[in-house]
Amino acid sequence: MKKATVILLSVIMTFGLFGVFASAENDSMMPVDIKAKSAVLMDQTTGTVLMRMNENEKLYPASVTKIMSMLLVAEAIDSNTIRLTDEVTASTNASKKGGSQIWLKEGETMTVDELLKATAVYSANDACTALGEYIAGSDEAFVTMMNDRAHELGMKDTHFDNCTGLDDTSTTHLTTAYDIALMSRELMKHRFIQQYTKIWMDSLRDGKTELVNTNKLIRFYEGATGLKTGTTSKAGCCISATATRNGTSLIAVVMGADNSKDRFEGAKAMLNWGFANYETVTPEIDKSLITNVNIIKGEEKTLTPQISGGSQFLIPKGKQKNITQEIDLAAAVEAPVESNQTLGTVTVKLDGKRLGEYKLTAPHYVEKLSFKTVFIRMICSICKPQQPISVN
C-alpha cells in the first residue's frame, strides 16, 4: 500500500501543468489523500492530467477492463455495424463465465441493449463475452481488437488477456491508471453510453433479473456519469469514476485499494478537488479583431474569415479574466482559395502562456480570376464616370 503525500497546491496550480501528461515518471503529484497503489485525475474534455500517483505502474484492472469492451461495442453501434435491437445468442463459452454474471444459458437470446446494460450496470462477465463474440466472431478475436484499440489510443502499458478482467489464471492482464483514463475518456465521447453507465437500478427478463450498479457513486455523488468498478484478489478494489459539474467533466481512476470504501473515497476526493479548483471555459473570440483578407487574382476581391471549431479550455477557477487572444491573419492570399482553407489563427493565452488556438478559415471556395471577369472589370473601370473637375 502506498499513501500519497500532500504537496503544495501552488505547484499544481502553476500553468506548466496544463497539457496532457504522458511522462513515464512514477513520482507523486497528489494534493489529496489516496489510499491505493496508483491514481490519476484527468480532465475529460482536454485530456489534461490534474493529479497523479504511480500512474504508469502496471497493475491488474479487474472489471475496469470492461471499459475497453464497452468502447468497442459503442463504436460498433455508432458505425452501424451492430444495432441495439440486434438479438444475440449466448454461446457455451459465454454461459460458462465465472464471477459476476446474469446467468446466461447456452442458446438464450438477448438484445445488444440488454447485454450492454448488464455489462455497464452489473459488470456481467457472461453478457460482456456474448457481446464480444457477436462483434468479432469469437472471444479471442474480440480480445485482439481490444489490444489493437489500446495501441491506437496510446495505451503503452496495457495488455488484455480477456474482455472481462478475470485474472485468476493470468499474469499478463495488466494496465495502468493513466491508460485507464485514456480509454475512459474515449468511451465517454460516445454520449449515449451514459444511458447505461448512469443507471442505478434496473432489471432484465421482465423484472426477474435485478441489476444494481456496482458503482455506488452513481447514487451518492452529485454529477456522477459512470463509469466502471472492478474487484479481484489480485487487483484489489479499482474504479474509473466520471462526473460532470457546471460544464466540467473529470475522470478519476483508483487502482489497488484495499477495500471498496477507500476506492470510492479516493475517487470522490480527487473529483471534489478538481471541481473546486478548475473550470472549463469557451472563450468568445473578439470578432472586431478579424479583418477581411484580400484575394489576389480571385473572382472575389475579399473574404471574411470564419472561426472554425469551438475549443474548450480547462483553467484554474477565477483566471478567466486573464485570458487574452492574439490574431495571426494573412493580409492577402492568391486564388484559388479552397473552402475551409486556413487563413490564420487565433491563439488563446492565459497569463501569457498558450492554451490553444482556433483556426480562421475561408467560408467558401473562390475561383481564380477568369479572362471574362478581367475583361468585365476592365470595361467597368474604363466606363466608370469621371468626377467633374471643380473650377473656382
Element (H, E) at 302: strand 302-303
What's the confidence (pLDDT) of residue 285?
86
Residue 336: strand, helix, or coil: coil
What's the confidence (pLDDT) of residue 4?
39
CATH for 254: 3.40.710.10
The answer to whether residue 390 is domain-embedded is: no
Rounded distance between C-alpha atoms, residue 99 and residue 12, angstroms: 40
The answer to whether residue 1 is domain-embedded is: no
In which domain, by residue range, is 168 found?
9-279
**Residue 374 — φ and ψ, nearest 5°?**
-60, -45
Could you say which residues of the chain have pLDDT below 70?
1-28, 371-378, 381, 384-392
Q: Give me the number of domains the chain comprises.
A: 2
What's the confidence (pLDDT) of residue 181?
99
Mark which of 252, 279, 306 sits at the end of a domain: 279
CATH for 311: 2.60.410.10
Kindly state whether residues 112 and 135 are assigned to the same domain.
yes
Q: How do residues 349-389 score in pLDDT, each as one tens digit? A: 999 999 888 999 999 999 987 766 666 666 776 776 665 55
Rounded distance between C-alpha atoms, residue 286 and residue 340, angstroms: 20
Q: Are strands 278-281 and 306-308 parallel, antiparallel or unpaired?
A: unpaired
Is the CB of residue 68 less than 8 Å from the CB of residue 143? no
- State the pTM of this model: 0.84
The answer to whether residue 66 is domain-embedded is: yes
Residue 37's contacts (CB-CB under 8 Å, 6 or more residues apart) are 1, 2, 54, 57, 59, 236, 255, 256, 257
Rounded distance between C-alpha atoms, residue 257 and residue 185, angstroms: 22
What's the confidence (pLDDT) of residue 381?
66
Mark which of 213, 244, 279 sits at the end of a domain: 279
The answer to whether residue 333 is domain-embedded is: yes
- HSE, side-chain direction, 13 A CA sphere, residue 87: 4
Query: Which residue type is seen at 112?
Result: V
Kindly state whether residues 228 and 298 are assigned to the same domain.
no
Rounded distance between C-alpha atoms, residue 313 and residue 347, angstroms: 12
Kindly state whether residues 329 and 357 are assigned to the same domain.
yes
Catalytic residue IDs: 63, 66, 123
The answer to whether residue 18 is domain-embedded is: yes
Kindly state whether residues 262 and 361 are assigned to the same domain.
no
Is the CB of residue 69 less than 8 Å from the CB of residue 115? no
What's the confidence (pLDDT) of residue 386?
60
Q: Are strands 323-329 and 342-350 parallel, antiparallel or unpaired?
A: antiparallel
The answer to whether residue 260 is domain-embedded is: yes
Residue 123's contacts (CB-CB under 8 Å, 6 or more residues apart) are 63, 66, 100, 214, 228, 229, 230
Burial class (CB within 10 angstroms; exposed 0-12, middle 13-18, buried 19+) of 372 = exposed
The answer to whether residue 3 is domain-embedded is: no
What's the confidence (pLDDT) of residue 321?
93
Kindly state whether residues 106 and 136 are assigned to the same domain.
yes
Kindly state whether residues 89 and 124 are assigned to the same domain.
yes
Query: Which residue type is seen at 222?
Result: E
Cell numbers given for 379:
470595361
The answer to whether residue 356 is domain-embedded is: yes
Kindly state whether residues 65 and 98 are assigned to the same domain.
yes
Mark which of 279, 310, 338 sits at the end of a domain: 279
